[in-house]
Structure 1
Amino acid sequence: MVGGVLGEDEEAQDAPGPLIFDDTDHHCRTLQALNMMRKNRHFCDVILHVGNAELHAHRAVLASASSYLFEMFSSEEEAKGNARETVITYKLNGGFERSAIEKLIDYAYTAKLSAEPRQVKAIYLAASHLKMEPVVQECARHLMENLTVESCIDTRSLPGITRHKSLVSRVDSFIEEKFEAVRQTAPFLALTCLRIELIRQTRQEMTLDGGDSVCQLVLEWIRKQCETGTSDLDDLAEKDHMLYLAFDNSLQDCSDLPSGDSNDTEMVQDYKKMSKKITASKNTRRKAPLQPAKPRVLFLARDIGEQPEIDEKFESILIASCKVSESAFQALIAFGSRLVSMSVTLRLNQPTATTPSPIATTPVSNSRAESQEKEQQPDILCVMAHMSSVKCSSGCANLNEQLLVCGGYDRVECLKSVESYDPEWNIWATVAPMREARGRFNIAVVRGEVYAVGGSNGTTELDTVEKYSQETQKWTKVASLPLARSHTGVCNLGDKIYCIGGWNGQVGIRQCDVLDPDIGKWISMAALQTGRYQAGVCAMNGQVFAVGGCDAWNCLNSVEIYDPETDEWSFTSEMITARRGCGVAHFKGKLYVVGGSDGTHALSSTEIYDPETKTWTPGPNMTTPRANVGVAVIGSRLYAVGGFSGKAFLNSIEYLDEKTDEWTTFMPKGSSTSSSPFSSSPTPNGKSSLSHQFNFDGRANGVNGQDSTPKISEAEAQNGSNGVHEEEK
C-alpha cells in the first residue's frame, strides 16, 4: 500500500506543468485588427449618423469606451430580445460635430487622441455627453492650460461644464483675476446683458456701496425672478429694471412701490409708466416658441434619455465684478453653464418731503444735532458669508459660540469636510475633516466635544459614531450604534446624547438609544410611538421633542415628547403643517420648527411651540425655502444652514434676529452678534425704502464659496435607496 502511494507521487512529479503564455501585445493587435475592420466596414454592427455622414463601427468597442453608449446599446438589446437587427442605425441631433465624433471613435479603437486646438471644445462637448471621462478630463486640462482672456468666456459657457467642479473653479478664478481685460473682449460683450438701476437716498450711501455687495443683492433678486417663474433671463434682458432695498434687505422692483411713499418720486413714477407700457406691449406680442436656456444635444432615435439637471439653471453665482465709474458696476454671473453680464447703476433718489422737517425750523444744540445726524446715518450691512460648498442634511451645532457645520450631501456625494462660521467676523474657516464621509445625520455637543452620529456615506447607512476634540483638533471613533441608520434625530440633554428614530434602509424606525460619554456605551430607551425618520429632534425643559418627519410614505405633523424620568414617550399638540427634514431649536423659551418639506415642496415657513399653552403658532418665513436644513442658536440669533430650495442645493445661511423677529441674509458690518441690523420702520406695504447701507469686503467673507480665511486645520422620498435624494424628485 505504501509503495503504491509512493509510485503515484513519483508519477505526479514527472507530469509536465501547465502551459502559461502571457501575450502582452495581444490586446493591441486586437484593437488594431478591429480598427482595420472598421475602416473596411467588415463586421460593423452600428452606424452613427452625424449630419450627412455615416460612421460605421462595432458596438462592443464603442460601448467599452462610452458608458452612455453602453447603456443605449443595452437598452436596445433588451427591447429587441431575439429579434435583433444585423446593423443598427442611430441618428445624432445637430449638436455634435462630425470631426469630434470621428476623433472619439478613433480614440475608442486606438486609445490615442490627437486634435487641433480649435477642435478641443467640440470634442469636450461630445465626450461629456457620451460619458467618456478620460477624454473629458484631458480636454478640460488642455482648455485650462491654454485659457486666455479671449477664450475664457467661451470655455466657461460650455454646456455640462458645471459637472466638473475643479475646472469651473479654475476658470472662475481666472476670470475674476483678469476681469478688467475680460469685460472688454468680444465674447463678453456678446453676452446677454441685464441692466439694473438701484435707487439710493443719499450720496453717502452711493459712496459706501461696495461692488460685490450690490451685485450679490441684484443676483439674489434675479435668481428669485427665475425661480418663481416670474421671468427668465431673456425676459429680464428686455428692459431696464429700477430696484430699491426693502425692509427685509431684499431688492424689490420700484413698480411695487406704493403711491405716496417717500421714495415714489417723479423719477420712479416715470419708471412705473414705462414698465406698464412694456408689459402691455409684451402681452400683445405673439410669443415665439420657447428656446432652451442652454444648448442641448439629444439622440433623436433610440434615445435612452439622460437624467436632466433640472436645478442647474438656478445654481447662480457671481463670478466677478468691478467698479467702472463712481456709481456704476459691471459683473459676470452664471446660471449653471449660462453666462450673463450685468450692469448696475446707482441712482440718487432723494425722498419727497411730505411734512415740514422740525430739524429745519427748530434750533438745536451741537450735541443734539450730532446725535440726530448719527441716528440718520445708514445702517452698514454686509452679505452673510456663504459656506465653501452647497450642502443639505449636514450636522449643525453651536461650538463655543461658533456655527459648526459637518458633512452633508452636495448632490454628488456625502461629505467629510467640516467648517466653522464666526458670527462676529462673518468668516468661515475649515476644521479637521471627519474620519468618514457622512450625510443625512446630525451632531451634538457635550462638554465641548462634538459627536457625529450615524448617517449615510452615500452607499449604506452607518452605525459609526465619531467625536471631535478641540484640544487635539482630531476626530476619534467612539462606541457604534446598535443599529445602522440615517436621517436620525440627534440632541443632547444634560451630558447625554440621544439618537431618535431614523431610517434603516427599509423603513422609518421607532428605536431610540442614549449614550452616556462616561460609560461609553449606547443603551436602548423607550421606543417612539410612531416610527419616523427625517424628524426634527431637540431638547427643551428637561425633555426630548421629536417633531414631524416621515413614517415611510407620509409626512407627519405629530409631535412626541420623551420624559427621561419615566422613560416614556407621549404625544402633544400636532403642528400646523406636516413636514419632514425640518430644523428644530430651543429659542427664546419656545420650540422653533424651521423649513423642511411637506412631501411636495420645500418650505420657507416656520412654526413656534409654546410649552406652557402647548399650542403652535406660525412664525416668520425664511427668505428661502429650505428642506433638510440645519439649525443652531448662537447668541440672540437662530441660524438656518444650507438645505435644498426645491430647485437648487444651497450654500447660504440666514438667521432669525431676536429683536426684529425677521429672517435675513445680511448682518451689520463690523458689529457683534448682539447688534440688530435694522433701525428703520416699514412703509404701508410692509416693505421699507428707508436707508440701509450694504457693504461687502470682497472674497474675505467667502461669498461664492471662496474663503480666504486662514485654515486652522485640514480640511428624498428616500425609500431606503442610498445615494438617491428626495430633493431632486
Structure 2
Amino acid sequence: MSGKLSSAANCQFSGDRNMSRTVTAAPPGLAMDWDFGALSACPNTDTLERTIRRMAWTTFHELRLEDEFCDVTIKVDDAEFRAHKIILSVCSLYFRALFSGRWTEAEKNVYHIPGIAPDIMRLILQYTYSNASINESINSDNVEELFMAADQFNILGLQWRCSDFLIGQLCPENCIGIGRFSSHFHCPKLHENSHAYIRHHFHEIASTSEELLDLSLTEFEDLITKDDLNVKREEVVFQAVIKWIEHNPNDRNQHITTLLPKVRLALINTKYLLNNVITNIHVKDNKECMNIVTGVLKTKYDLNAHGSSRSYFMNPLTRPRLPSAILLAVGGYSASNPTNIMESYDCRVDRWIDITHDMESPRAYHGTAYLNGYVYLVGGLDGIEYLNSVTRFDPVKKIWQKVAPMNDKRCYVSTAVLENQIYAMGGYDGHIRLNSAECYDPETNQWDLIAPLNEIRSDAKATTLNGKIYICGGFNGEEYLFTAEVYNPDTDQWSMIAPMWSQRSGVGVIAYGDLVYAVGGFDGVIRLHSAEAYNPANNSWNEIASMFSPRSNFGIEVLEDLLYVIGGFNGLETTFEAEYYDRKTDEWYGVHNMNIHRSALDCCILPGLPNVWDYAASRDTFYREGERRALSDGSL
C-alpha cells in the first residue's frame, strides 16, 4: 500500500464537491447505476440478447473514441472529453440532472466540472462505457479520488468496485484511515468491513499503527468501549490508552479519567494491576483513577472469596469482551442415540451455549468443515442409515441447505479443508472399510475421487498443514493402526510417514503451530489419555503431556493458540468434559463442561462472525461460574 491510503483520515472536501453531491438523490424506481456485469449474468437473458448488449456497448465505446454522434463536451482542468449525453445519463443521476436543463439551458453542450482531475474523469468514462475493464485500472494511488468522484457523480457500481479494492487492501497500518474515510460517505460495506477489521485486529493495530494515535478522544473512547474488541488480554487496551495519551501528553493527560473506566480492569491479572497500572504516572497522580483501581482490586477480592452477583457481569469494568472466533461442536451420540445438538463455546467466559437448529437431522461419526462462511456436515450415521449426504449451515442466516452427496457412504469419515476444497477420506459404508478419498468443490457443487489412501482407514482423523493433508490412525477392520500418511494435492499422491508411538482409532488429529498432534483414541484395549506430536521437518513423533481424561471419538480444534478436546467416550461412559492444551507450557487445563454428554461429535472454528453475539454467552445474563473463571487471575 502506498502512503496515500494510510492518510485517508486527512481527506478534505471542497465546497463544490459537497454541493454536487446534494443533487444526486435517486428518485423512486430509478436505477442508480447501469451494471453491465449484472445484466450479462441474468439467468433469464437469452444468449443472443446478451451478445447484442455487449456488442452495443462496445460500439458506444468505439463511437466515443471516434467522436461519432458525441453531443457533449466535459471539461476538467485543461482537458476535454467528448461523450454522449444519453450514455452518461443512464449511468449517473448527476449527469442526468445536469443535462436535463434544471441547472443550465437544455441546449448547452460544454460543461466544466471543477475539482476532478483529468485522469479520474478518464476512468469515469472508461467505467461508464465499459465497466468490465475498470478493476485493472483501480490502484492505491487513485482509489480514494476515484471513490469520491464516483460518489459525486452517483455511480454506485464504480463506488462498490473502489470499496472492494479498499477492503482488499486493509491492514493494521491503514485500516483506521480507511475507516475514517468511509465515514464521509454512504457506503455501508466499506464502513462495516473497515471498522470490523479494526476491532478484530486491535492487538496488531495497537502495536504498529500510527493512525491509532491520531484518533480523537471520542473515536478512541468509542473503539475501546466495544464488546467485540478482539483482545485476549485486557492489558493490551490499557497499554493502548497510555500510548495514546503519551502521544500528546500535555493535551491528553486530562483524558485518563475518561478512558481508564473504559478498560475492563477487572479482567486484568492482579499482579499486572499492582505492578503496571497502579504505578503508572498517569494513574498514580490522579485521585479519581486511584479510586477506580482500588475499587477493582476490592471487586476481584470479593469475587474470588465470596462469589459474585449479576451486577459484576453487567459492570463495564468486569464485562467480558466477545470472542473473535467461536468453537462449534456438532452432533454425535448422546443417550445411545445420534443427536442434532449444536453447542458453541465462548472462550471469554468459558461457557457452552446450546444453538441447536432443528431443521438438521441427527448425525454421528460424521465430519465437519468450515469453508467460505458455511459449516459442512459430511457423511456419518443417522442411527439407521450410513450416509453419503452432505448439508451445510449458514451461521449468519441460520439456514440449512443440502449440497451434492459424496460418491461413497462414509461413516467414521475423516475430513479436511485444503485450497478451498473439502476432502473426505476413508470411513465405513455399512459393508466394508474404505481407503477411497474424494474432494468437494463448492464452486461446482461436485465431488471428485482422488488417489486412494495407502491403507484402509475408518475412525481415523485428518488435518491440514503447510498445503498438505495428514491422516493418522484408524481401524482397518482387523487392526488398530499406528500408521499415518500425507497427501500432496500437486501430485495427487499419498505417502506414508513415520508411524505413531501408539495404535489410535477414534483419535483426535489437529495441526497446531508447525506440528501435527495425535491425541487420545482407542488402542484395541483401553481408551488413551496420551498424546504425541509429529514434526514434518524430521519425520518424527514425540510424546507430549497426557490429557486429564482418556477419550476416543471426541471433538478437537485449535482456538486462540490453544488445543481443545471436547466430549468423547472414556471407556466407561460418554462424557461432556473438555480440556485444552497449551504448547507453550506443555500442560493441560480444565474447561467448563458441555451441556450434554456425547461422543462421535465433530468440531470446527467459526472466525469473524458478524453476528458473533448469537453464538456467545449473553453479556446481559449472569453466569456465576463462567464469570468467576473469567475474572480469576489465572484465566487471562
Q: TM-score, normalised by structure 1?
A: 0.38
The structure whose RCO (Cα within 8 Å, separation 6+) is larger is 1
Q: Which has the higher helix share?
A: 2
Q: TM-score, normalised by structure 2?
A: 0.43
